[in-house]
Chains A and B, each alone.
Chain A
Amino acid sequence: MPVQEPHVTAGAASWEHYAHGADIGVRGYASCKADAFVQAALALTAVITDPAEVVARESVAIECEAPDDELLFAEWLNALVYEMATRRMLFGRFAVRLDGRRLSGEAWGEPVDAARHHPAVEVKGATYTTLRVAREGERWVAQTVVDV
């Protein structure tokens, strides 16, 4: 599956997109599961705009839970999609804390500015297609396809 060049951040954490017919896959890598969720959230924003162009003006708290890691990851992305849609915001910075099957997170961002963000497409939701949260050697990967 073709992938975009990984976007590497501190601590060897990174994110990338991967191809899915009509839509797009988001994937985060990090040394811990929670940070892999953070990286995948950056990939989610990058489907819409360049995360670096989003100014962290205000924060939104996010809480979710699910029966397993993979459904929890999808819940996290879907919570972000919901907050983006209802607040008309984009997020460029994230924090995640995992406690068993519960997630407490925070997203920082600003209202959509079409002239500055040039948003390409809105994300309808995170699917379960290629949904995977797993440890690969020394790092964690969290991925799924989002419907646009």
Chain B
Amino acid sequence: MDLNLLRQRSPTRWEITPKGAMRVPAIIYASEPLVRDMDHKVYEQAVNVAALPGIVTASYAMPDAHWGYGFPIGGVAAFDPDAGGVVSAGGVGFDISCGVRCLHTGLRRADVLAVQKELAQALYTRIPAGVGSTGSIHLNDREMDAMLAGGAQWAVARGWGLAEDLERVEEHGQMSGAQPDRVSKQAKKRQRDEMGTLGSGNHYLEVQEVTAVFDGDIASRFGLAQGDIVIMIHCGSRGLGHQIGTEFLKRMAIAAAQHGIALADRELACAPIRSAVGQDYLGAMRAAINCALANRQILTDLVRKVFRDVVPQAQLPLLYDVSHNTCKVETHRVDGGTRELYVHRKGATRAFGPGHPDLPEALRDAGQPVLIGGSMGTGSYVLAGTRESEARAFSSACHGAGRAMSRHQALRTWQGRKVVDDLAARGILIKSPSMRGIAEEAPEAYKDVSAVVDAADAAGLARKVARLEPLVCIKG
């Protein structure tokens, strides 16, 4: 991105002054090297979002922002229904409520190394992953609607998890306002056999070691210490969310014109929050959030069963579960007042600061855990929401490393077998049904996740707590 297009307000805050159709500024949070490396499309997309009706304060791009669909991935924008605000399917994305869940294990590195191969094979065998895979749970119409209304609470009630898991999930495991009757038959059909499946692409399940602690006090409150072993699960609402995204993208592209909304890009497809299409989308999108929460809950149960068989001394309580593709109604302080806003986070993580009433009591003083997935060969991070994050970007932070190279280029650069062997030489076991998929997900195809979280920390979006590095990775 050309720095001459931006006004630097601090070492990690860059502003695009309103011009043309922009209603508010666009603000990019990143270090200078990260901004330089960003695609110019991030600039265009942040500017386009700033022109949407009812947007409040600014259109934001997180340190991992890259070219997305209408909104940049790593984009945050809040809309006020009282000001004609809109809801956008492109502002949420196809994989609705894609997110990350982190489980403690009570194990240390040596415990895992003693059974590393056996554990990797058991996880690979028993966690359905990859194209065409199906879960062991097949939902009839009635159970499908119950799942879409109940989310992780539904899953726990059916025996896939523990009641104490729920306070460690955003929305306490159940997104309110879900309307299963707004979800099409096609979307439900696509999900019927996909509960408890990991998916493919950048989705994964990893066994990780805490290799560095940056804030001992918060790490302690999160129950993390150097050398601890944790599990990280990255996946979303599977076929149901993808189908809802597809269907509403088309409906909103047509609806926007009917409501007189001029779109700079068809992918910005949106509808007024207070319109039939807008309300239909919110009902369906919230049901998809519940689908993702239920899916990660079922995967948690599968992981616990594997550990019970392979490492019986392990205990797997939930640290936290975050979603990074959502639109949620939240109350925020704006210009000295309080407003109820529809906050879109597309490849961005909610990052409530200390004291927020939605956080579980045990974590409330520390701030919300913000779980950042890296690539399979590098590392992941746990951050914590900050008090100042609300004023920075409606309590939002980055979500991952972001790709540095296209899948096509990665495929031409690396061979899957060599990636597996190189990582094995570093003590990291990768299991996947597709060597081509591994090549496309090669560690070097991603940006430096450390630079991303350093920028998020420096910008005050979230505070760096701990670094995690993989020992086992299951890829779809």
Interface residues of A (CB under 8 A from B): 2, 4, 17-24, 48, 66-67, 70-71, 74-75, 78, 81-82, 85-86, 88, 111-112, 114, 117-122, 124-129, 131, 145, 147-148
Contact = CB atoms under 8 A, between A and B. Distances in A.
Contacts of B189: 86
B199 interface: yes
B130 interface: yes
B255 to A, nearest CB: 12
Contact of B186 (A2, A67, A82, A119): A82
Given A21-B67, A128-B266, A148 B407 contact: yes
B69 A128 contact: yes
Given A119-B130, A122-B131, A124-B94, A22 B403 contact: yes
B250 A120 contact: no
11 contacts: A19-B408, A21-B41, A21-B73, A70-B266, A88-B132, A88-B134, A111-B132, A119-B433, A121-B201, A127-B249, A147-B93
Interface residues on B, range: 35 or more
Contacts of B68: 21-22
A48 B131 CA distance: 8
A85 B190 contact: yes
B409 A2 contact: yes
A75 B250 contact: yes
A122 B406 contact: no
Contact of A114 (B131, B250, B267, B407): B131
A82 B250 contact: no
Contacts of A129: 69-70, 265, 267
Interface stretch (B15-23, B289-297, B376-384, B435-443): B435-443
B434 interface: yes
Given A22-B67, A127-B249, 11 more contacts: A17-B408, A19-B409, A21-B39, A78-B246, A114-B433, A118-B435, A119-B437, A120-B200, A120-B434, A121-B131, A121-B201
A101 to B, nearest CB: 13
B436 A120 contact: yes
Given A75-B250, A86-B189, A120-B440, A4 B131 contact: no
Nearest to B98: A124
Of residues B131, B199, B202, B434, which shows the largest number of chain A Cβ atoms within 10 Å of its Cβ? B131
B407 A122 contact: no
Given A82-B186, A127-B267, A71 B250 contact: yes
B233 to A, nearest CB: 17
Nearest to B65: A21
A66 B246 CA distance: 13
Interface stretch (B152-160, B207-215, B219-227, B237-245): B237-245
Contacts of A78: 246
Given A74-B250, A129-B267, A2 B408 contact: yes
A22 B66 contact: yes
Interface string B23-64: 000000000000000010100000000000000000000000
Nearest to B93: A147
A78 B186 CA distance: 12
Given A119-B132, A129-B267, A21 B435 contact: no
A147 B408 contact: no
Nearest to A125: B246
B131 A119 contact: yes
Nearest to B236: A124
A70 B254 CA distance: 13
A67 B254 contact: yes
Contacts of A48: 131
Of residues B95, B249, B403, which shows the largest number of chain A Cβ atoms within 10 Å of its Cβ? B249
B406 A112 contact: no
A21 B66 contact: yes
Contacts of A2: 406, 408-409
A118 B406 contact: no
Contacts of B267: 127-129
